[in-house]
Amino acid sequence: MKKKLLVTDLPCSEYEGKRVFVRVDFNVPVNGGKITEDYRIRRTIPTIDYLTRCGARVILASHMGRPKGRRIENLSMAPVAERLNEFLGIKVRFPGAVVGRKVENASKKLKNGEVMLLENLRYHNEEAENDADFSRKLASLADIYVNEAFGTSHRAHASTYGMTAHFEKKLAGLMVGNEIKFLSRLIRRPKKPYLVIVGGMKIKDKIGALKNIIKKADRVLVGGGVAYTFLAARGVSVGKCSVEKEMICWAREALETYKEKIILPVDHVMAEAGGGRKMRVVVTGAGIPDDMTAFDIGPKTVEKFTSYIKGEGTVFWNGPMGFFEVDDFSNGTSAIARSFALATWRGATTVLGGGDSVASLKKSGVKFSEATHMSTGGGACFEFLGGVDLPGISILSDS
Ligand code: ADP
Ligand code: MG
């Protein structure tokens, strides 16, 4: 891939007095109006600092959650505006809308060095539909476009793709630039052996990337929800676990082709299906009984998986090993997280991608600094590593 023009590749004089639209990824967890984890916000501050110091008028926009075109109050960006006030030390303007008269007026009143944050982009269905009119309205707010939302770059939405056609200058933010630089190196020549750990829920979302990554990896450990589709493909009974039926065929083929490479769980922590309140937690080595659902990898699997996670080569991890949000089912993920951190200390290049994966690392008590690279994108990171062109990156100006 060609090198992309970075926001700092242009001198300050290019920004002074200009309105700069920065697509950020402030899709942070909020509980009772309070942000519980703000890694994604902190990571964008250097770009915002550079622009404000240059005298740009900065317009920030992000989505949060999946409001599906409706105005859902607890998915408002208002708490983010407050957190930004704190981080930037200035009062960030928050017009409380995405498009329309109020926003246009506020954008015109912005002074050099000031910052404005738009409301949740997904309050409008037009965002995900990449609607042309909506794209044009967003673009009309600014003179220069910056992508600082790596985690959303695999989506061709209005704010990541459609609106960019209206700009001559489309730049990569510093964080996006870092991600491209680090991950490109990993695509070209990963330090061997290359170990990939996949978990989480949906194979369908990950298949494009998984297909390519399996080829390059020396070993792929499959845990989490995605493991049950592979186990089903191998003919192991999976009880009430959700299996992606349309993926079984592909999984069977992959298991045939890469017999030695793909490592599946050998035991599970499970509970009675739909057990609601207090579930009976059982560990089994065999298949999963008909009335049970597996929510975590078992202790033998942990032993097996961790024996592959060594202090050499490259370790890429995306997707928790189980339903880690519930303590009874967090052991597998925690064990893998600690082993992943150990691999870093022992000299491996370790890369973690994915919103839930980052949260699971935190819950395991592993520090973010115990990974060589923490990607701000899950799907985006996975697809990029799999060699898939990300629309939000491809459209950026070449350097
Ligand atoms: P990421 O955001 O890191 O890319 P995913 O979104 O693919 O990860 O998946 C994360 C979710 O998968 C978590 O909410 C976790 O609880 C869930 N999960 C993983 N394994 C299981 C399982 N066995 N049963 C239920 N949920 C699971
Ligand atoms: Mg996720």
pLDDT digits (tens, 9 = 90+) for 27-82: 998 999 999 989 889 999 999 999 999 999 999 999 999 999 999 999 999 999 99
| Atom 4 of ligand 1, residue of closest alpha carbon | 354
| Sign of the alpha-carbon dihedral angle for 246, 250, 256, 259 | negative
CA of 205 to the centre of ligand 1 (A): 12
| DSSP string of 290-340, one letter each residue | TTEEEEEE-HHHHHHHHHH--SSSEEEEES-SS-TTSGGG-HHHHHHHHHH
Is 130 strand, coil or helix?
coil
**CA–centroid distance, residue 355 to ligand 2 (Å):** 5
Between the CA of 322 and the centroid of ligand 1 the distance, in Å, is: 6
Measured CA to CA, the distance from residue 229 to residue 234 in angstroms comes to: 9
Among 315, 328, 297, 153, smallest CA distance to 226 is for 297
Q: What's the maximum distance between 2 C-alpha atoms anywhere in the chain?
A: 67
pLDDT, residue 37, reads 87
Ligand closest to 378 (CA) is 1
Residue 304 is among the residues annotated as catalytic for this protein: no
User: What pLDDT is attached to residue 273?
Assistant: 63
Say what the pLDDT of residue 40 is: 87
What single letter denotes the amino acid at residue 190? P
Pocket test for ligand 1, best of 296, 318, 351, 356 (most atoms within 8 A of CB): 356
Question: For residue 350, which of 362, 339, 360 has the smallest C-alpha distance?
Answer: 339
358: three-class secondary structure by DSSP: helix
Q: Which atom of ligand 1 is nearest to the CA of 324?
A: 16
Q: Which residues pair with 314 in a beta bridge?
A: 194, 349
100 conformational bin, left if phi > 0, alpha if psi -120 to 50, beta if neither: left
Pairing mode of beta strands 268-272, 282-284: antiparallel
Beta bridge partners of 386: none
Q: Best substitution site from 27, 28, 154, 201 to test ligand 1's pocket, by max atoms within 8 Å of Cβ?
A: 201
pLDDT band for 212, please (50, 70, 90 cuts).
confident
Query: 376 pLDDT band (50/70/90 cuts)?
Result: confident
Mean pLDDT of 183-212: 88
Confidence check: pLDDT of 276 > 80: no
Q: What is the pLDDT of residue 318?
A: 93
pLDDT category at 209 given cuts 50, 70, 90 is confident
Task: Give 207's pLDDT tier (boundaries 50, 70, 90).
Answer: confident
Task: Specify the pairing of strand 219-222 against strand 314-318.
Answer: unpaired
- How far, rounded to the nearest angstrom, does the alpha carbon of residue 206 sit from its chain's CA centroid? 12
349 vs 193: CA distance, rounded Å: 10
CA of 67 to the centre of ligand 2 (A): 16
55 assigned to active site: no
Q: Which ligand is in closest contact with the Cα of 265?
A: 1
Residue % of the chain over a pLDDT of 90 = 79
What pLDDT is attached to residue 379?
Answer: 83
* pLDDT tens digits along 71-125: 999 999 999 999 999 999 999 999 999 999 999 999 999 999 999 999 999 999 9
Atom of ligand 1 nearest to the CA of 202: 7
Q: What does the pLDDT average to over 162-174?
A: 98
State the catalytic residue, choosing from 225, 239, 378, 379: 379
Determine the pLDDT at residue 319: 94
Pair of tokens at residue 334: 């925690």
Distance (Å) from CA 274 to ligand 1 centroid: 17
Which residue in 3, 136, 191, 202 is the catalytic one?
A: 202
- Between the CA of residue 273 and those of 172, 239, 289, 295, 296, what are the distances in Å? 46, 9, 10, 10, 14
- Mean per-residue pLDDT over the chain, rounded: 93
The answer to whether 363 and 29 are in contact (CB under 8 A) is no
Tell me the pLDDT tens digit for each residue of 309-352. Answer: 999 999 999 999 999 999 999 999 999 999 999 999 999 999 99
Q: How far apart are the first and last CA of the chain?
A: 11
Helices (H) and strands (E) in the chain, counts: 14, 16
Residue 283 confidence (pLDDT): 78
Q: Which of 10-24, 263-277, 324-338 has the lowest mean pLDDT?
A: 263-277
**Rounded to 5°, angle at Cα 105 from 96 and 50:** 80
Out of 332, 355, 377, 386, the active site residue is 355
CA atoms within a 13 Å half-sphere pointing along the CA-CB vector of 127? 23
- Catalytic, 40? Answer yes
Q: Model confidence over 128-165: pLDDT tens digits?
A: 999 999 999 999 999 999 999 999 999 999 999 999 99
Query: Stretch 192-198: mean pLDDT, rounded?
Result: 96
Closest atom of ligand 1 to 226 CA is: 20
Q: What percentage of the chain exceeds 70 in pLDDT?
A: 98
Q: Of 224, 234, 228, which Cα lies nearest the Cα of 254?
A: 234
The set of protein residues with a Cβ atom below 6 angstroms from ligand 1 is 199-201, 224-225, 294-295, 318-320, 322-325, 354-357, 378
The answer to whether the bond into 193 is cis (omega within 30° of 0) is yes
Q: What is the pLDDT of residue 1?
A: 74
Per the model's pLDDT, the better-predicted residue between 181 and 208 turns out to be: 181
Identify the residue whose tokens are 């939405």: 157
Is residue 310 part of the annotated active site? The answer reads no
281-314 residue pLDDT tens: 777 777 898 889 999 999 999 999 999 999 999 9
Q: How far is the CA of 320 from the centre of ligand 2 (A)?
A: 9
Please report the pLDDT score of residue 278 as a whole number: 53
